[in-house]
A and B are shown apart, each in its own frame.
Chain A
Amino acid sequence: MSGFWAMGDYAAYVWPAYGISAAGLLIAAALVLRAHARAKAALARLGAKP
């Protein structure tokens, strides 16, 4: 590894920090959106508007 990806020999710290943050935020967003869509669908099945 060289240049950009080496992060001046700090790759082992910089990339996991970004990776874990991105994964955490993306998973949270996906779960929140899925729960919202499910609740909306459940209400629609009952014939009510959200």
Chain B
Amino acid sequence: MLRYANPARFMTLSGTLVPWLGGIALVALAAGLYLSFAAPPDYQQGDTVRVMFIHVPAAWTAMMVYGLMALASLIGLVQRHPLADVAAKSAAPLGALFTALGLITGSLWGRPMWGTWWVWDGRLTSFLLLLFLYLGYIALWNAIEDETRAARAAAILALVGAVNLPIIEFSVDWWTTLHQGESILRKGGPLIASVYLWPLGLMALGYTLLFFTLWLLRIRTEIMTRRARSLMLAGEA
């Protein structure tokens, strides 16, 4: 893994990967979108069940991105590897976007099904906290001018905030909530019909691969920007 953590190798590898990941993401999203609207309305939830196909992938991706950001932060702190810091930094705005989409689609689903846009229960509150963690992480990067110090401070925040991930995950078991429990990745198999599982799985794949595509592109952008900056500094000297 760390063999590819050399910026030059990373640029070559990511340059090859990006078109493939992006292409597969688009195909998965197109197929997922088609099946999302081809599926019959749910016998209890009616057509609002379609919100699930974009709400659950957004929420899953938001949590996965935070996990990756925390992991990259840990590698950045321990190994002092600059690419790890760049990777963590580049993930944050994307994670914030997926978190916001999870919250908005959840609210639009909750209103017709629960009768409320919002409730301060464990799942919703801990997920809102995830958004604030992302925003705080981004703000911290912007607040500290020295890049090495900013990376360290932001990494510590990311790692402390990682405590929130299991809280989100188990919130539906620990506390009374309007939010339903785990119905897909559970012991004994998924609780939902395959006509809903397919669009959900394809959209989840599409969201995940779209994130990885944009993440790699953002890391590449940051590496190129830093190179341009150091070339300009070298030119001035």
Interface residues of A (CB under 8 A from B): 4, 7-10, 13-14, 16-18, 20-21, 24-25, 28-29, 32-33, 35-36, 39-40, 42-43, 46, 48, 50
Task: Work out how many contacts link A and B, with CB atoms closer than 8 A.
Answer: 91
| CB-CB nearest in chain A for B48 | A10
A43 to B48, Cβ gap below 8 A? Answer: no
Q: Which of B54, B214, B220, B225 contacts A29 (CB 8 A)?
A: B214
Of B146-154, B168-176, B186-194, B226-234, the segment with at least 4 beta carbons within 8 Å of chain A is: B226-234
CA of A12 to CA of B109 in the docked complex: distance in angstroms? 10
CA of A20 to CA of B100 in the docked complex: distance in angstroms? 10
Known: A7-B47, A21-B101, A39-B220. 13 other contacts (CB 8 A): A7-B50, A13-B111, A17-B108, A18-B54, A24-B100, A25-B210, A28-B94, A36-B224, A42-B224, A43-B224, A46-B235, A48-B228, A48-B231
A8 to B47, Cβ gap below 8 A? Answer: yes
Say if the beta carbon of B179 comes within 8 Å of chain A.
no
Given A17-B54, A21-B54, A36-B217: A10 in contact with B224 (beta carbons within 8 A): no
- Give chain B residues whose Cβ lies under 8 Å from the Cβ of A50: 11, 15, 220, 224
CA of A43 to CA of B50 in the docked complex: distance in angstroms? 44
Please name 10 pairs of A and B residues whose Cβ atoms are closer than 8 Å in the assembled complex, sorted by A: A7-B47, A13-B108, A20-B105, A28-B94, A28-B97, A29-B214, A33-B217, A36-B217, A36-B220, A39-B228
A48 to B104, Cβ gap below 8 A? Answer: no
CA of A18 to CA of B37 in the docked complex: distance in angstroms? 11
| CB-CB nearest in chain A for B104 | A20
Q: Which of B51, B217, B218 contacts A14 (CB 8 A)?
A: B51
- Give chain B residues whose Cβ lies under 8 Å from the Cβ of A25: 97, 101, 210
| CB-CB nearest in chain A for B45 | A10
CA of A34 to CA of B214 in the docked complex: distance in angstroms? 11
Q: Which of B41, B97, B109 contacts A17 (CB 8 A)?
A: B109
CA of A26 to CA of B140 in the docked complex: distance in angstroms? 26
CA of A46 to CA of B226 in the docked complex: distance in angstroms? 13
Given A21-B58, A32-B218, A46-B231: A10 in contact with B46 (beta carbons within 8 A): yes
- Give chain A residues whose Cβ lies under 8 Å from the Cβ of B37: 4
CA of A3 to CA of B169 in the docked complex: distance in angstroms? 37
Say if the beta carbon of B221 comes within 8 Å of chain A.
yes
Say if the beta carbon of B112 comes within 8 Å of chain A.
yes
CA of A12 to CA of B28 in the docked complex: distance in angstroms? 26
Q: Which of B15, B41, B111, B225 contacts A39 (CB 8 A)?
A: B225
CA of A2 to CA of B219 in the docked complex: distance in angstroms? 46
A20 to B210, Cβ gap below 8 A? Answer: no
